[in-house]
Amino acid sequence: MLSDEEVKLYLRAGRIAGKSLLYGMEIIHEGMPVIELCEKIEGMIVKLGGQPAFPCNISINDVAAHYTSPPDDDLTVPKGSLVKIDVGVHVNGYIADTAGTVAFRPEHERLMLASKKALEAALTAIKSGVSLGMIGTIIERTARGYGFTTIRNLTGHKIKPWILHAGKSVPNVSTMTLERMKEGEVYAIEPFLTPGKGFVVEEDRTYIFSYAGGKAKGSKERALLHAIWSRFRSLPFCERWLIKIAPENSDVLQALRRKRLLYEYPVLREAGRGIVAQWEHTVIVTKKGSIVTTAIE
């Protein structure tokens, strides 16, 4: 069970995340540098009193997840694109995770709406005792009702303080599982919908990392690992953040990667190059329902 203080921290993180996502969806425009969008949203998180729980993800068209700008990014928001904005916030380690989709082409609006409706349907079913498989069934049925498929190898996830993915996964497809939601647990629910093949593959590029454990030998590597743990613990981070501490961290980061002291999050793309829409909220499970921490009235 969560204490009253823990609930307050989750709700505070959720309000900041929701407001920061809304801000990003309001300022995004065709031709906008993606690095500018990432940094403005991350700056808003800090301005509102939180810290990013992971780098802002800006995933365009058939890219489903894990794209954040590298330091020298020249990518801009393409004309007529479908853009997912995924925002994470923590307050003293208590995390909120939320996402939304912006469509710059009218024919993408049905996919965007279907993803949003799948999320809404899932939220109405959440309460203590409900099976995780049932949530997946609801999401998949809603998607199929609109003529789309869900991405089966991307899931929602349980959240704990300082742990973004805390063991339990919430499927986006009908799944046979005995696992159930329990009162006081916190989950991110995030349907990914596509007209494509319904699964993602890893690209050969990675911009997001987290500390994987282990010790470094060199003094510079030890210093950077200490800085990573002090600032982020096990939460994801990106190179953009590290070079603000010190420019030489870019070379040290690559050394840590080679020694596998970092966990890597490759950019994920829909296998059939189908465009992808995503909506996401974080919820606290209660006996009779849930509290959506990231909802903005």
Catalytic annotation on 39?
no
Give the long-range contacts of residues 244-248, CB within 8 A, separation 24 or more: 248/220
> Which is the catalytic residue, given 42, 86, 140, 270?
86
> Which is the catalytic residue, given 62, 108, 280, 281?
280
**What is the DSSP pairing of strand 200-211 with strand 262-270?**
antiparallel
Catalytic annotation on 97?
yes
CA-CA distances (angstroms) from residue 267 to 34, 50, 59, 64, 198?
15, 26, 9, 8, 16
Catalytic annotation on 72?
no
Catalytic annotation on 109?
no
Catalytic annotation on 29?
no
Chain position carrying tokens 């200490």: 226
> Which is the catalytic residue, given 62, 97, 185, 270?
97
> Which is the catalytic residue, given 157, 185, 239, 270?
157
> Which is the catalytic residue, given 165, 183, 221, 264?
165
Catalytic annotation on 157?
yes
Chain position carrying tokens 């599982």: 177
Q: Name the token pair of 67.
A: 């794209």
**85 burial via Cβ count (<10 Å: 0-12, 13-18, 19+):** buried
> Which is the catalytic residue, given 42, 140, 185, 190?
190
> Catalytic amino acids?
86, 97, 157, 165, 190, 280
